Structure 1
Amino acid sequence: MMWQNLYGVSDRGITLLLKFMEAFVSMLASLLEVPMLTEFAKIFPTSLYKVRKLLGLNRDKFVKYVACPKCHTVYKFEDCYRVNSRGEKHPLKCSAVKFPNHPQKKRRKPCHAALLKKVISKDGHGYVYPINVYCYKSVRETLETFVRRPDFLKKCNAWRFRNVPNGVLHDIYDGQVWKDFTDNGFFKTDYDLSFTLNVDWFQPFEHSPYSAGALYMIINNLPREERFNPENVILVGLMPGPKEAKKNINSYLQPLVDELEQLLQGVHINDGTLFGNNYRGALMCLSSDIPACRKCGGFVGHGAMRGCSKCLHAFPRAAFGKKADYSNFCMENIEPRTDEDHIFFASQVRNASTPAEQKKFEYEYGARWTELNRLPYYLPVRFHVIDPMHNLLLGTAKHVVEVWKKQKILTSEHFETIQSRVDKLKVPGNVGRIPRKIASGFSDSLQSSGKTG
């Protein structure tokens, strides 16, 4: 395990190595006929799970909730079954009602989806198991691990001693949101921490459409070169698949918001000092790609009529199925969104008694309810950032290269040269994939058809 950590070997590589070593030990035991080796081969771990269990490295410190596979409502496991007189557990159905105030009684029916499944073990005993599991990791427990590291708190407070010229926006500390928190007395002590929340979905399996989601936070107090390191990222929750939740992820945000409410008041953390200290935390920023930001931040999709999360400009469609009209985008004539109005209309959407009423509010203002609005300091419009990576670094950059190609500023020879230099790069294993189709992606044939690699 130390060797894996030192050289950055993947989990899959270590697993293959363990299986090889188990086969090697078994072969030695068979050839030498040594009883001790035979017994050792039987208990030799062939997976990382078994290794960590033998070494006492318990990484499975998640609180496991049961998630409804249909409506994504989250339950505690003990609330998902009833026990009869013989001690047998019988699964219950999802009791969530989407429109509890609907004027028609038949429209107030619960979801009624199955939450648990019955499983028979090898010894014939039956037990119940969740169909979908939402794994949540306590932010407080993660912080207790972090603050015990040498110099961690020192790094978190290095921002107080920066020397930045006036008027220069060098980091998040120079922004007005950070200054407003400071003026309200939030950063008075060295134990006040600020967080940025990110939500993203990924496919954990190859050649499979299964999509899982992750909630994770970074600590803004850390220096920029430190805060995004994997060891400093707070993994909050893992949302189950096989598909993303539609419109919002409020049920998955509830445990996090509950903890953030406690962190705002302050929680005592044993940080290795004699008596520990009182730590406070606040969510200052929501930074995700556009679809995730809409689901988490309480906005309608970017393809809706009021799809902008910063203003109330309408993007009409000429007909059903047509693309939205993004023209006439004049900043002087645009009404900006306000946090107060947005929260009000989001509350209207949440309290709507019928689907038609809910759609009406969403259509008129482009707002949806998010559990983050429960935080007294959270400003949904102000605290979310516009996705710069996909827009500027990918979308706009690719468009500029296409224009340069069209105007013959860049030729095929230039792309071949760029490709040859990229192919010679040797990058660490923890760096994501680098582009391998630069030359072919901007070839004349694809350019003429309007496609890029």
Structure 2
Amino acid sequence: MSQRSRPRRTARCTCTSHGCIQQQCLYENGQPRPGLIITTWQCHLHMLADQRILNVEAHACNDPQDNEHPHPVVEPPLIETSSPDHSRPNHPNDDPEDPPYDCSPYHIFNLQRANPPLLHISLIAVLLHVFEHCSSPTCSSFLKANLDLVKIILTQGLVQSQPHRMLTHAENTSLHALPLDICTIMKSLHLDPVLNYLVCCSECYAMYPINSNIPLNCVHLTVAHADDGPDPTDEIDDNHPVITNQICGTLLFSAAQNKMVPLRHYATQHLFEWLARFFAQPNIENELERCAFLSSTPYEPNSEVNDIQQSRLWKSFLGPDGVQFTSKASNLTFGMFIDAINPYVSIRYAHQNIFLAGIAPGPKEPSLEQINRILTPIVEQLKTLWCSGLRLSRTFQHINGQHIFCALLPFFADLPAARRSLGFAAPTATRMCSYCLLQRNEISNLDQNTWPPRTLPGHCYWATQSKNSQSLNARNKILCEHGVQYSVFLKLPYWDIVQYHVVDPMHNLLLGLLKWHVNQFWRMDNTLDEMDPQGISTQELMDLLGDAASGSNGATSNIALPSPTHSGQPFLDLDFNTTNDSNDGTFRTTISNYGWDCPWAAPSRGKIILDSQLLLYVNKMLPRIHVPTTIKRAPPILGKASHGRLKADELRHLFTIQLPLTLPVYWASGDPIKRSLFQNFAHLVSLVNIAMKRSITNNLISQYRTHINAYLSSSLFLFPDTPLAPNHHMAVHLADCLEKWGPSRAWWSFSMERLMGSLVKASTNNQIGSLEIPLMKSFARKGNLHALLDSQVLPEASKPFLSTLKGLSTPFASAEHSSRASKSHSLDSRLLKALIERLNILFPQEPLTWISTDKWCKKCPQEATRFLPVTSTIIGYNNYSINEATYSSCHQNPSNSIVALKGNAPCHVGIISQIFKHVCHLQDKSICSDMWLVITPLVSLPNSIANPFAHLNTYCLGLSLRVSDDKQQYVIHVDEVLAHCAWLKYKPHEVSNHLPFETYAVVLLNN
């Protein structure tokens, strides 16, 4: 008989860290009580987790003045147990004698002894659940099916002639150990984040720690009828004592199955726990060291800046000790989304390196006062991490622990979210700008030197006055006159709320300026859409840019228009022999040698620029435009409301690729109005291209300022009936952000928007009132699962198969791959000679020289030692991919076949006619295998030939008209490729009567 096991001691746990408080159990008298019956040891661990979390969160979840709110309480277990004294919570230490923050759970966890096949099945199921959003029942069925598959393989074997056998006892035991519930597997893999649960008022967003003392109705004192700002036309009387404080009174609980259930929960991820897990990653400290080294070099004003670590503000940011904060690897810097940006760009946006602090409760958009309550917990933790830091008991590289500090630097969001979160007035307010005090009715003032700048002392003063004001009218007066409200970010002693928020280029330029240009300046015609005579709604645009129509442009007669590079051709000398009014849809241009420069001429008032004729032409040309497969094409049909609104990427590609390839031909009729419209358009595209570059210099920033001023001044002249919007004003300040923070890719919201978009795909199980919690868990699980696959805790037998698992979690693999075209064959003598020339230039083996194998064989043995033979044998390929770029031969995929080359290459732009791999032996007898491209050059047209693509070097369009030189071919190493090109082939005479041959309009995509 088996020995009876001793009964385990149990206790009722009501912790919030593991969600036990949300469960129900029967008490000794049979009455239901909140909590979960678990072992006393588990209860003890849960209480320790609560103590770590609640010590930081309890004093931060409500306003300091709300003394009526209950304090968090952790109910003791039913059975008292003896345990060490843990009365002192685990938190950052002012006293070095205090115990460090316990990180042992993230270092003790190990799967080395796990069963590799069953672990592999479990990981696949978790990946499908987390990344592909498969439901729990589907994952359970998957686990059962794979369990059956393992049994079939064990009993039947993989060889048909193998005899059937029975499972052994050990095999049966192992198979029964595989959980069939996906939640059990995720729990065993420690994928769930540590969350602190709070009861949230659905009306005012007041937060209550979960305990038995929570009132049925919200007792928070709130401001009556508070909004984001007054109507600028209303008269404000601060002597009128409007009552602003009243008890919210919103119901917090509802009755469900004889128990009271909170109507809404709010969960915050604990930053200290996240940091403990973050520093447990194997390679993260090496990346931080690399980043700190890059940050510690002195700032060079005239050098090229490739990332935020090289920017001026990053290198001048000082810590509490007066030393550069970002030069230490133990100092972590966050951006508000919230994203740890110390790691290099290649790992910065990985799920496991992003801290999701919380998701604002929906469904309505919170006010500033409500946002302050939501952000207070994370701000308090950031404040602690700045002042006293956090002493971790252990990191991956520091067994004895490490003391770390954290700071918040850039804040990036769209315009309304930034204003609402930071306490600045809305874009429709009198003080429309968060950097200067220019009034909205002066928006046409383009002289930045006359704009009174905001200062941090002035902002803090008026924000404090607004916070302490007892009158709603007084607050509104401050908001109207100074554009300021109180924000919880002002609690951070080091954070400059004026200088440390940025203008997000995605929302400002793409969804702002480009969308305004096509819908408001050009007035896109919707006559192509027969089913929707009302046209395209601009509600989204107006919400984004504000009610700019109420502003004033001022007199346009005093506008200083940009001066053309050339004097321009006199109006009477322009050639009007041909027009664009052809019935067959073809266009014959008569552009002169002067290019596009001419005296400015405005179209008639109210004229539709993007009219039906232009739309038809652009739509006709779109199918002929080739863009690389890695770039999303703009919609094939423009002007149809049924096609939907253009997204940021679609707008960018429309303005920087499709329209530059087509508009020069359409507008090159010699009409000064069309020339003026194209110059205005070219300035817009130029500033967008510069702002989106991967690296930035002071010269490029100066060019950006030139283009934005030229674009705005010419827009005021060309479109006097359409006012500028606040986004146009903010685009001028974007130049200051580029100067302070470096290239915009380090702080734009593109990457974060894509990651946040994955949240909405997560399974929520229809948990109304708690929708944000499963979304947070889903996001955190993705990061923790990425970290698990990259960790060293998995069995050695599983590691050869991890690449397949990582492919499920990473849609874009960074490894090289290619598709083979044919068997080995030989290069012809001309290409072999070109290959040898590039080998001697790119891979010199001094004092030896590369020569063909035929010549080498003819050398005498003594002379042959001075040379290295190059065989003509190659392996041909159709495609070659590395990272996200795919290069193809022109016969395989023309869209991927035209590339721009780096400066040391023998040509600038060319067509890939062949891709091959070549193997050769180096001087040290080692084998070198490289990928090579055979390039047919595309050469520029001579300046003597007039064409509408000439004389555009004053703009940053990356646009040129080229012709193929079929008589010449070069062999180029794949590392000499600079970027892909988008292109459009024009037929003979299609661009100009002076061009009776095929031409290629090419846009360089090196942004």
Deviates more, 1:19-28 or 1:67-76: 19-28
> Aligned letter for 1:415?
L
Secondary structure class of the residue paired with 2:221: coil
Q: Do structure 1's residue 438 and structure 2's residue 635 form an aligned pair?
A: yes
Aligned-residue offset at 1:179: 2.2
- Decide whether the 8 Å contact of 1:63 with 1:137 is kept in 2: yes
**Corresponding residue for 1:172?**
308
After the TM superposition, which residues 169-318 of structure 1 pair with which residues of structure 2 at under 5 Å, given as runs? 169-182=305-318, 184-185=322-323, 186-187=325-326, 189-198=328-337, 217-248=338-369, 249-264=371-386, 265-269=388-392, 270-272=394-396, 273-316=398-441
- Decide whether the 8 Å contact of 2:129 with 2:136 is kept in 1: no
- Decide whether the 8 Å contact of 1:80 with 1:93 is kept in 2: no
After the TM superposition, which residues 32-431 of structure 1 pair with which residues of structure 2 at under 5 Å, given as runs? 44-45=180-181, 48-53=182-187, 55=188, 57=190, 59-78=192-211, 81=214, 91-99=215-223, 108-120=245-257, 126-162=258-294, 167=302, 168-182=304-318, 184-185=322-323, 186-187=325-326, 189-198=328-337, 217-248=338-369, 249-264=371-386, 265-269=388-392, 270-272=394-396, 273-316=398-441, 326-397=443-514, 411-418=618-625, 425=629
- Decide whether the 8 Å contact of 1:182 with 1:188 is kept in 2: no
Aligned-residue offset at 1:262: 1.1
Q: Whose Rg is larger? A: 2
Deviation track 1:267-320 (CA, whole Å, cap 9, x = no partner) reads 11132433211100000111111122112222122221212111111114xxxx
Aligned-residue offset at 1:9: 7.1
Judged with a 3 Å threshold, the aligned counterparts in structure 2 of structure 1 residues 58 and 227 are, in CA distance, closer, same or farther, namely closer
Deviation track 1:386-419 (CA, whole Å, cap 9, x = no partner) reads 111122244444567787967969722332234x
- Decide whether the 8 Å contact of 1:80 with 1:116 is kept in 2: no
Give distance in 2, aligned partners of 1:142 and 1:262: 15
Secondary structure class of the residue paired with 2:356: strand
Give distance in 1, aligned partners of 2:281 and 2:148: 43
Give distance in 2, aligned partners of 1:188 and 1:371: 27
Aligned-residue offset at 1:146: 1.1
Judged with a 3 Å threshold, the aligned counterparts in structure 2 of structure 1 residues 187 and 106 are, in CA distance, closer, same or farther, namely closer
> Aligned letter for 2:333?
S
Deviation track 1:96-120 (CA, whole Å, cap 9, x = no partner) reads 21359x9979753311112222332
- Decide whether the 8 Å contact of 1:312 with 1:337 is kept in 2: yes
- Decide whether the 8 Å contact of 1:80 with 1:92 is kept in 2: no
Aligned-residue offset at 1:16: 6.0
Give distance in 2, aligned partners of 1:349 and 1:106: 15
Give distance in 1, aligned partners of 2:305 and 2:335: 18
Judged with a 3 Å threshold, the aligned counterparts in structure 2 of structure 1 residues 315 and 4 are, in CA distance, closer, same or farther, namely farther
- Decide whether the 8 Å contact of 1:157 with 1:221 is kept in 2: no
Residue identity (%): 24
Give distance in 1, aligned partners of 2:191 and 2:123: 16
Judged with a 3 Å threshold, the aligned counterparts in structure 2 of structure 1 residues 267 and 118 are, in CA distance, closer, same or farther, namely same
Judged with a 3 Å threshold, the aligned counterparts in structure 2 of structure 1 residues 117 and 52 are, in CA distance, closer, same or farther, namely same
Q: Do structure 1's residue 17 and structure 2's residue 138 form an aligned pair?
A: yes
> Aligned letter for 1:414?
M
Aligned-residue offset at 1:187: 3.9
Give distance in 2, aligned partners of 1:326 and 1:416: 40
Judged with a 3 Å threshold, the aligned counterparts in structure 2 of structure 1 residues 398 and 234 are, in CA distance, closer, same or farther, namely same
**Corresponding residue for 1:209?**
none
Aligned-residue offset at 1:426: 7.4
Judged with a 3 Å threshold, the aligned counterparts in structure 2 of structure 1 residues 160 and 93 are, in CA distance, closer, same or farther, namely same
Give distance in 2, aligned partners of 1:152 and 1:278: 16
Aligned-residue offset at 1:128: 2.9
Judged with a 3 Å threshold, the aligned counterparts in structure 2 of structure 1 residues 335 and 80 are, in CA distance, closer, same or farther, namely farther
Q: State the number of aligned residues.
A: 386
Unaligned runs of 5+ in 1: 29-35, 82-90, 121-125, 199-216, 317-324, 428-433
Judged with a 3 Å threshold, the aligned counterparts in structure 2 of structure 1 residues 400 and 224 are, in CA distance, closer, same or farther, namely farther
Secondary structure class of the residue paired with 1:193: strand
- Decide whether the 8 Å contact of 2:125 with 2:142 is kept in 1: no
Aligned-residue offset at 1:382: 0.4
Give distance in 1, aligned partners of 2:403 and 2:205: 34
Deviation track 1:147-186 (CA, whole Å, cap 9, x = no partner) reads 1111201101212444896523322223332222248312
> Aligned letter for 1:252?
I
TM-score normalised by structure 2 residue count: 0.35
- Decide whether the 8 Å contact of 1:412 with 1:439 is kept in 2: yes
**Corresponding residue for 2:799?**
none
> Aligned letter for 1:351?
N
Judged with a 3 Å threshold, the aligned counterparts in structure 2 of structure 1 residues 150 and 306 are, in CA distance, closer, same or farther, namely same
> Aligned letter for 2:256?
V
Deviates more, 1:369-378 or 1:223-232: 223-232
- Decide whether the 8 Å contact of 2:293 with 2:327 is kept in 1: no
- Decide whether the 8 Å contact of 2:390 with 2:403 is kept in 1: yes
- Decide whether the 8 Å contact of 2:395 with 2:402 is kept in 1: yes
Give distance in 1, aligned partners of 2:300 and 2:327: 22
Judged with a 3 Å threshold, the aligned counterparts in structure 2 of structure 1 residues 232 and 103 are, in CA distance, closer, same or farther, namely same
> Aligned letter for 2:124?
W
Give distance in 1, aligned partners of 2:347 and 2:485: 34
**Corresponding residue for 2:686?**
none
Give distance in 1, aligned partners of 2:147 and 2:407: 54
Deviation track 1:423-444 (CA, whole Å, cap 9, x = no partner) reads xx479xxxxxx56x6121x24x
Aligned-residue offset at 1:222: 0.8
Give distance in 2, aligned partners of 1:313 and 1:9: 48
Give distance in 2, aligned partners of 1:56 and 1:452: 42
Give distance in 2, aligned partners of 1:128 and 1:391: 46
Give distance in 1, aligned partners of 2:127 and 2:142: 20
> Aligned letter for 1:303?
T
Give the RMSD, CA atoms, in angstroms. Answer: 3.9
Give distance in 2, aligned partners of 1:107 and 1:371: 20
**Corresponding residue for 2:52?**
none
Deviation track 1:181-227 (CA, whole Å, cap 9, x = no partner) reads 248312464211111012xxxxxxxxxxxxxxxxxx22221111211
